[in-house]
Every structure is written in C-alpha cells, then in structure tokens.
Amino acid sequence: MQLTQNKFIKAVAVSCAGLVILSCSEPTAEAEVETQTTQSPNTMEQTVTSEISFLEENKNKEGVSVTDSGLQYKVLLEGTGNSPAATDRVTVHYEGTLTDGTVFDSSYERGQPIDFGLNQVIRGWTEGVQLMKEGAKYKFFIPSELAYGPRGAGGVIGPNEDLIFTVELIRVN
C-alpha cells in the first residue's frame, strides 16, 4: 500500500495538543471509547508512575539531553544540512514505540519516508525536529504531556504514555 498525502492525513489524530503520526489503520470511535472506558483509575496511575520512572532513569543515560520542556533526545547521527522552523514542511523516516518497545508506527516498515508540516504533529515532534539538521538521526523520548496526555490515542497509545521516536530528517522542504 502506497502512503498518499490523503492516507497520511487520515492517519493523523487531531487534538488540542497538536497531532501525532499514527499507523495507517483507523480505529473506530466506538473502539476508542471502549478503550478509554475500560482503563481503570489504578491502571492509569500505574501508567503515569511507570512513565515517570522511565523518564527519570533515561535522562541520566549517557548521551541523553533534556530540553526545558522535558523532551529528552539522543543524537544518533549529526546532520550537516538546514534546520527546520516550526512552520516548515519536512521529509522524515521514523519509528514510533511505546516505552516497552512496542512499535505502533514506522515509515521504515512501509518502506517510504513521509512529508508533513512540522506544526501539524505533537509538540514533542515539533520541538525535537527543530533541533535537527538535514541528514541527522535522533531518538526522542517524549513525555506524555508533549504527546497525548491523559486521553491517549487510538487503541495503541494509552493514557499518560510517553513515546519514543527514532527520527531521520531527510530534508526541509
């Protein structure tokens, strides 16, 4: 399946915090409501606690930097090209995972990079990709408040889940 711009737009969830790239499958509204209503307060509290523990441990690892907003990142390969502004369109390859390693989306798996407006994704992406130069590859550890927060997204990303993205900035368009 080729990923067209229309399919990509359908694969993006809109929220007050912005957008985040999701897989190309589109969960139904009923599935989202069911997922949200079956999450117990205890489970949500455990998720928040485990996510805080993950980020607390991760920030002390070698090579991990932390921005003022709490975004954590590690430079895997430094680039030499242009850096994007929040209003630029970019072409990237990426893989998104939960902190347990579960892959929820990957342009690598689809075999095709994606082009999108940098101000059309979650805040953690907008902030992080602006740190990069063309040709760079970074790993972002995005706190839930820079992603989906307490509502989660679809059936895969639960409430208060931190996300991990490996992002390769191919070009600023």
Whether residue 145 contacts residue 82, with contact meaning beta carbons closer than 8 Å, is answered with no
Rg of the chain over all Cα atoms, to the nearest angstrom:
16
Instruction: Check 122, 142, 157, 164 and give the catalytic one.
Output: 122
Structure tokens at 41: 């307060």
Instruction: Check 21, 54, 73, 94 and give the catalytic one.
Output: 94
Structure tokens at 55: 């980020």
The amino acid present at 22, given as its one-letter code, is L
Structure tokens at 106: 């990957």
Structure tokens at 103: 């892959």
Active site residue 165: yes
Residues with Cβ < 8 Å from 172, sequence gap 6 or more? 81, 82, 83, 84, 88, 89, 90, 134
Instruction: Check 73, 140, 141, 148 and give the catalytic one.
Output: 148
Active site residue 54: no
Specify the DSSP element, H or E, that contains 104: strand 103-106
Active site residue 141: no
Instruction: Check 54, 116, 141, 165 and give the catalytic one.
Output: 165
Active site residue 148: yes
**d(C-alpha 72, C-alpha 52), whole Å:** 13
Instruction: Check 105, 138, 140, 170 and give the catalytic one.
Output: 105
Active site residue 105: yes
Instruction: Check 54, 73, 104, 141 and give the catalytic one.
Output: 104
Active site residues: 94, 104-105, 122, 148, 165
